Amino acid sequence: MPAPALVFVGFMGAGKSTAAREAAAVLDARLHDSDRLLEAEFGSTIEAFFDAHGEAAFREREEALVLRLLDAADGDVIALGGGTLASARVREALGRHLVVHVEVDLETAWTRAAGKGRPLARDRAVFEARYAERASTYRSVARATLPPADKKVGRRAARALRDLADAPAGTQLLWATAASGDYPVLVGRRLLGQVPWPLGGRRFVVSDANVGDLYAGLVGEVSGLIEIGAGEEHKTLATAERVWEALVEQGATRADHVVAVGGGVVGDLAGFCASAYQRGVPVIQVPTTVVAQVDSAYGGKTGVDLPTAKNYVGAYHQPSAVVVDVATLATLPPEEHAAGYAEVVKTALIAGGALWEQVASGVPVDDATILGCARTKLAVVREDERDGGRRQVLNLGHTVGHAIETVSGFARYRHGEAVGLGLLAALRLSGQEDLRAHVRDLLEGVGLPVELDPQLDAAEIVAATAKDKKRLGEHTPFVLVHGPGDVRHGAVVAPSDVLAAVAELHG
Ligand SMILES: NC(=O)c1ccc[n+]([C@@H]2O[C@H](COP(=O)([O-])OP(=O)(O)OC[C@H]3O[C@@H](n4cnc5c(N)ncnc54)[C@H](O)[C@@H]3O)[C@@H](O)[C@H]2O)c1
């Protein structure tokens, strides 16, 4: 049985040929580029053939060549022209191969393709229409997604792409990039124990009292297991110290890595421990809650709480991989599912578009929602790893949410529950009353609190927002919503308005 090929697809100007060439070099695989092969066959440029014979004749020749390539491929690397997937026969033939979507944003694609004689890049309106039309086709056939505007990404992702062929059917790979490093994110079902482990060296699992028994054993060959207490109250420096001591006792070295198996508490704490243990060892995140699978496992923010201030001590430490086994959510208690839903709504508001429409319709969180949230978070972090600007939008609902958690001693509300209340306050401050009513219904629909415990004092919560880590000088900047897909950071809001928005949560 011939091995599947890695087939690179994407819109004009995405850099498919470069990515394919880079990957083929690392994998020592045969490389084919359908556009170059067609030009050799025509004895002219594609533009000249297109102009002389028209699009239909070009597509016919292209389809025939691509079908031959796909049929003969045995572990090869192939770059396909941007429009090839319009052919149903080609899409069918791709079934036995592994399709890699090289993303590109519209502006970059236009800048790269226009003015170069490309027949379909002569008219901006036609170009835009094709871009929109093809985007969903690429996504629907791809098993892997590479981020835009990165010439060397094919080289760095090559091995992970090859290993994807051995992962359980349906596993998706998103290649995450950030200023300080990049890594594969694998999303699928029953990945634990099945997926080729993304990193060499010994594995030291950190998990919590609930999750350890359920999933730590599935990680495979493990050299050490460290269990912490479950819940936010254990996300402390004292717990971190215990983990470091246990790593020393178990003999973990810099050639080894930490595997964080659990929710956001385990992920943040184990990531922090990995960032500092022997001045830094790799960490692989294995998120097992909705919060962690849609948000906290990606982006490299790690840390612990101080008694008076949430997430106050930490480090940026990007994971070396994230393994998202959606099947682990089957054992998650319903109230934890609900808490995660607040982060789903937040992420969908940031994303807008198809993800918002899906979430706004009130359907339960499924694999596609988790993948959509992961894409959204990775895109934000790619732009701004260290919270200098755009990343602050991820704090939507968190300024008030964190203050509620702090004032209630991290015990009254789950993180996601507090974020849900914080979202309602942020939408009030944004003057988005209709959207607020819609979000309130969504949160209430999954059983999340939409009114604040009357015992909690609004003024005290507002005072706690002053401790927010995003505070600059006199102001705590707020993230406000101008509409789904239009979320902006850095708004200055009068303290009296914040007080009114929080007090209003008392109902
Ligand atoms: N680093 C980031 O970017 C980021 C982003 C968002 C949230 N966070 C942090 O995440 C934390 C909240 O995470 P969380 O909501 O996942 O809480 P959590 O880690 O406390 O998990 C919630 C509960 O579910 C249990 N659990 C986890 N997975 C399970 C499973 N599959 N089956 C059964 N039980 C399971 C846990 O033991 C725990 O009792 C907060 O500390 C928050 O600050 C971090």
Rounded Cα–Cα distance for residues 164 and 186 (Å): 9
102 and 147 within one domain: yes
457 and 392 within one domain: yes
419 lines ligand 1 (CB under 6 A): no
CATH code, domain carrying 395: 1.20.1090.10
Cα 236 to averaged position of ligand 1 atoms, centre (Å): 14
Overall size of the chain counted in residues: 507
Res 471: pLDDT:
62
Rounded Cα–Cα distance for residues 154 and 26 (Å): 9
364 and 404 within one domain: yes
Using most ligand atoms within 8 A of CB, pick from 291, 365, 448 the residue to mutate for ligand 1.
Answer: 291
Q: Which of 286, 317, 332 is the last residue of a domain?
A: 332
Res 79: pLDDT:
98
Identify whether 339 is part of a domain. no
Identify whether 80 is part of a domain. yes
Res 476: pLDDT:
80
Range of the domain at 396: 360-506
For residue 368, the SS3 value is helix
498 and 377 within one domain: yes
What is the enclosing helix (H) or strand (E) of 311?
Answer: strand 309-316
439 and 489 within one domain: yes
Task: State the amino acid at position 452 in one-letter form.
Answer: L
465 lines ligand 1 (CB under 6 A): no
Atom number, ligand 1, closest to the C-alpha of residue 231 = 20
Distance of CA 199 to the CA centre of its chain: 19
Is 300 assigned a ligand-binding role in the annotation?
no
Residue 217 structure tokens = 């054993």
Neighbours of 284 (CB within 10 A): 25
198 and 159 within one domain: no
Q: Which of 313, 332, 351 is the last residue of a domain?
A: 332
E strands, 111-198, are 144-146, 172-178, 181-188
328 and 207 within one domain: yes
CATH code, domain carrying 154: 3.40.50.300
Identify whether 173 is part of a domain. no
Identify whether 282 is part of a domain. yes
418 and 486 within one domain: yes
Res 314: pLDDT:
97
Identify whether 406 is part of a domain. yes
| Residues 437 and 429 sit within 8 Å (Cβ to Cβ) | no
Strands 486-491 and 478-483: antiparallel
Using most ligand atoms within 8 A of CB, pick from 185, 210, 387 the residue to mutate for ligand 1.
Answer: 210
121 and 41 within one domain: yes
Neighbours of 214 (CB within 10 A): 16
Identify whether 287 is part of a domain. yes
228 lines ligand 1 (CB under 6 A): no
How many domains is the chain partitioned into structurally? Answer: 3
CATH code, domain carrying 240: 3.40.50.1970
113 and 50 within one domain: yes
Rounded Cα–Cα distance for residues 17 and 33 (Å): 7
406 lines ligand 1 (CB under 6 A): no
228 and 126 within one domain: no
Is 111 assigned a ligand-binding role in the annotation?
no
Phi first, then psi, for residue 438 (nearest 5°) are -65, -45
Atom number, ligand 1, closest to the C-alpha of residue 402 = 43
Atom number, ligand 1, closest to the C-alpha of residue 287 = 28
Res 1: pLDDT:
83
Residue 344's contacts (CB-CB under 8 Å, 6 or more residues apart) are 290, 294, 359, 365, 369, 373
| Residues 381 and 176 sit within 8 Å (Cβ to Cβ) | yes
Is 143 assigned a ligand-binding role in the annotation?
no
Per-residue pLDDT of the chain (507 residues), as tens digits, is 899 999 999 998 899 999 999 999 999 999 999 999 999 999 999 989 988 999 999 999 999 999 999 999 999 999 999 889 999 999 999 999 999 999 999 998 998 888 777 777 888 998 999 998 898 899 999 999 999 877 899 999 999 999 999 999 999 999 999 999 999 999 999 999 999 999 999 999 999 999 999 999 999 999 999 999 999 999 999 999 999 999 999 999 999 999 999 999 999 999 999 999 999 999 999 999 999 999 999 999 999 999 888 889 999 999 999 999 999 999 999 999 999 999 999 999 999 999 999 999 999 999 999 999 999 999 999 999 998 899 999 999 999 999 999 999 888 999 999 999 999 999 999 999 999 999 999 999 999 999 999 999 999 999 998 876 666 666 788 999 999 999 999 999 998 999 999 999 998
Residue 364 structure tokens = 């339960």
| DSSP 8-state assignment for residue 295 | I
| Residues 329 and 339 sit within 8 Å (Cβ to Cβ) | no
Residue 455 structure tokens = 């015992």
Identify whether 387 is part of a domain. yes
Atom number, ligand 1, closest to the C-alpha of residue 301 = 1
Rounded Cα–Cα distance for residues 76 and 91 (Å): 17
Is 91 assigned a ligand-binding role in the annotation?
no
202 and 143 within one domain: no
Identify whether 91 is part of a domain. yes
